Structures are given as C-alpha cells and as structure tokens.
Structure 1
Amino acid sequence: MTTVLLLNGITGFHVDALPEVDSLQFKRLCYSLANYSNGKILSFEEPHSSQNFYKTELGLHNESIFILLNSSYPCVAFASSVQYFEIEFIDHSLSNIVCVFNDGFRILPAIETNQQLELDERTHTLFTENSLNEAELSQIFHWKPKTVGDVIFNFWD
C-alpha cells in the first residue's frame, strides 16, 4: 500500500488552516546533521510568497546538498541542486541518519519525489493519487509541474 503524498494543502494553497511545521526543530536537525557529518550550514531560507518550503544548504567536504522541508507537512527531501522551478531530488546517505536525531519528519526518497505527475487536461484532474483541493489543482494546471516533488516543493506565487 502506498502513502498518498499529495495531501490537501501541501502546495501552500489551501482553504482550511493547516498545522505549521516546526521550523526550529528542522533547524536543529540540520545543525545536528552538519555536526554529525563534519559539514557546515551554508544557508537557511524560510518559505516566502513564491516558495512553499524551507531550504538549508549543507556544505560537506567537496559538495553541497540541500535539505528541504515542506511548510505545511513535515516532509523532508534532499536535493543536489535547487534552482527556480528546477529541483534535482536525490537520495543521500544522510537521509538514513535523520531518524537518529528526530522521528518527527518523513524523509521522501527520490523515487517518490521524482515520480512523474500524471495530469488529465480534459477533466482537470490528476491520475496520481491525491487529496488536493480545487485551488491546488488549479495551480497545478497553471504551473504544470512535472513531478510529485515539484508539487510538494514549489515556487508558485
């Protein structure tokens, strides 16, 4: 049985109030991961009007990785690159140790975030399992994201 990832309000466009994620807890998690991996937090960015997620850049030896947290649900993903409307979701070895520091987040593997989004243009519905609201579906058909991850972590305004 698969878990529905596209939950009502996950895009940031919702009609009902949703609980907000604990950004302080996420920040602590990121610093713990940096300490554990002998890395360094290079930047921390809060959600804003055209970005529905928190973004931490973690410098590790000779690479940077990004740790993303959806602003409505405690869904975390790793990315090798985060550009406007273009996120490269990856699996990272750090994803396996997140549970050591905190079990309050759901780590989304790249196979889930990179899953192709299936749109039915004729009926304005998704073939991908979801519980999204009408405002979110409207945004999806406007912005035309390619993957499930592009819906969960988006740059829509």
Structure 2
Amino acid sequence: MNAVELFLLGRTLMKIGEQAMPQPKGDGPRGSVRTVLVVLGDVVAHPGTTVSEIAARTGLPQSQVSTAVARLESTGSVEGVPDAADRRRRLIRPAEAPSARVAEVRAATIDDALAAALPDPGPEAVGEVTAALAVLARHLTPEVAARVRAVDAAATAVRSQP
C-alpha cells in the first residue's frame, strides 16, 4: 500500500463511519459530522479547553469549531462552563453524564453501513472487515494521530525557518 492508497482508504472509512452514525433529531445546530467528531475527539483528549485552543490543535476554522461545539452541547455530549480564572472564557469539557444521544451513537454498529459498501455484503465479508478494523483501531489510536500532527507541525516549523 502506498500513501495515496492509504489516504483514499481513510476517506472511504470516514464515509462508511458517517453512514453508520445515527442521524440527530431536532433542529439544533448542524455542521459536518467529520468536524463534530474531530472536535469531540479533541475535547475528550483535552477536557477543559477553549474553542480557540481546539481550533489551533485541529486546524479547523474557529467558526466550524464553534458550530460543532454548539451541536455537541445541544445533544448533551459536551458542556461549556465559565473559566474561573477568566469569566469571559468558556471551557469545553465532556458532559458529566452521557446523554441519550451519546448512548444512541455508542450503541450504533457499522454492520449495515459496511454491508452496503462492500461488493460482497455477506456476513463472512462483513465479519472479516470488522475484525481487520478492530486490529487497526487497536494500533492506530487517537494518540497516534496526535503524534503524527506533532511531527508534521515540527517539520513545518523547520521548513519555515530562514
């Protein structure tokens, strides 16, 4: 596998993940599922963070982060609390108790979305792909992505030095 194949596989997996995600109900703020998941992952990794800090770490525009945080707050996934040191700032953290939406998303499986995506949607193929994804998930954790971003940021900083 080369870098392009890996990149395209990642995009395919994101699309399947989006298909497997139960759709939110109601008229709350929308926003890209990818953006919402990136923001949620960052909040879980860095509880008590600000919108601007999330934007800096993820590389997302602050407006997209704000929209994603609003959507996550409306579903009860995260909560914003005033910063005791600076009352003008809001600190975003995972919600204390999982909401009904969080429980719904955690209970969703990928089987139907995988079956719809695979050329052979039989239970054996779905099981084989699910097992392969479990191996990848065990080795390629969110911490790996953070290390990759840190290496990329360091390389960019070195290239920008005169």
Q: Same fold (TM over 0.5)?
A: no
* Structure with greater strand share of residues: 1
* Structure with greater helix share of residues: 2
Rg larger in structure: 2
Higher relative contact order (CA 8 A, sep 6+): 1
Instruction: Give TM-score, length-normalised by structure 2.
Output: 0.29
